[in-house]
Amino acid sequence: MRLRPETRARARALQGLYAWEADGRPAPDRLVARLDQLVTNHPEVREPAAALFLGVAAEWERLDATIAEAVEHWRLERLAVIDLNILRIGVYELLHRRVPPKVAIDEALWLAHRFGGSQSPAFVNGVLDQIAHSLGQL
């Protein structure tokens, strides 16, 4: 199965966000070069991946505040880094209405299935569904 460029871009943005978090959140433009190395021959993936990565990195505090409101009884520090970054991508897309809400959630679920743990998809779905409802999008 060949993935759509948009899906591949989200996966690359997730990888960039994971590296960004692991490196202690340096200036995001430093990590865009890493993204470019991963998808040098695919501008249809590289450009949206870089835009998504930079958008999420620029707004991570706002995104984290939105996520923190939705995850009752959890501190963000306790979340797996992958799950947190999948949620950041999903919330960013919901807030900016980059895609329809169901697409943002479905894409986040794909990331959770592909990169997260066994409980990640259900957790990501529940959090994003609650946020989409609170935003009046579902």
- Backbone φ, ψ for residue 14 (5° rounding): -60, -45
pLDDT score of 45: 87
CATH code for the domain in which residue 93 is found:
1.10.940.10
pLDDT tens per residue, range 67-102 = 999 998 888 999 999 999 999 999 999 999 989 999
44: its two tokens: 């249809």
Divide the 138 residues of the chain into consecutive groups of 10 and give the mean pLDDT of each group: 89 91 79 66 85 93 96 89 97 95 98 97 97 95
Q: Which of 128, 121, 127 is nearest to 100 (CA)?
A: 128
The parent domain of residue 96 ranges over 5-134
- C-alpha to C-alpha distances, 117 to 23, 83, 109, 111, nearest whole angstrom: 22, 8, 12, 11
Residue with structure tokens 């501190």? 75
How many domains is the chain built from? Answer: 1
DSSP string, 18-44: HHHHHTTS--HHHHHHHHHHHTTT-HH
Kindly report the pTM of this predicted structure.
0.92
- The answer to whether the beta carbons of residues 49 and 9 sit under 8 Å apart is yes
